[in-house]
Every structure is written in structure tokens, then in C-alpha cells.
Amino acid sequence: MVKHVIIWTLKDELSAEEKASVKQGIKEGLEGLKDKVPGIVDIKVNINGLASSNADLMLDSTFENEDALKGYAVHPEHVAVADTKVRPYTKIRSCLDFEV
């Protein structure tokens, strides 16, 4: 299996209320892909970081294998979520993919 972990920081110009709404939208959008994209074993988005955090939210996902992760990256359902709910609002994206 392959883990795909993303940590995002949202854009500074977003208000606290906007950030809360964006984080909820990202969570619902990405977690909603579980039954739509082949190869996803588990997908969770954490939007409730502690005050000590220096990022706003984290995707923790598991895929059957590296090919499934590659398919997810270009799957139309994932691209739609990324293009409408994630990319317009994020300023920093860090990714770590690894085998488990």
C-alpha cells in the first residue's frame, strides 16, 4: 500500500470564517472521493489542528499501490475537487508519498 499525505496552508487573505468554510469544503470534497476513485483504501482530512500547528489542514490517504495513486492524481473527480475546493484557496502544499 501507499500513503499519500498532504499538508496545506491557506491563503493569508482569508478570514477565519472563510478558512473554516474552505477547510470543511476540502474535507467533504476529498473524503467524498472514497467510493468514486478506484484504489482508495482510506481517505481522511484533518481540519482541527492545535494552536501549535503551522499549517491549516492535512490529507491522510492510503492507496492500494503506486499505480492507484497515479490514477487518483488524474481522475476527473479528484481534479474537479482540487481545482474548485483546494487550489484556489491554498498558498503552500507539501506532499509525502511512501510505501507502507
pLDDT band at 92 (very low <50, low <70, confident <90, very high): very high
And the C-alpha cell for 70? 497515479
Say what the pTM is: 0.95
CA 71 from centre of chain:
15
Q: In this predicted model, what pLDDT tens digit does every residue of 41-86 receive, in sequence order?
A: 999 999 999 999 999 999 999 999 999 999 999 999 999 999 999 9
Give the three-class secondary structure for 48: coil
* Angle formed at CA 96 by CA 90 and CA 100, multiple of 5 degrees: 140
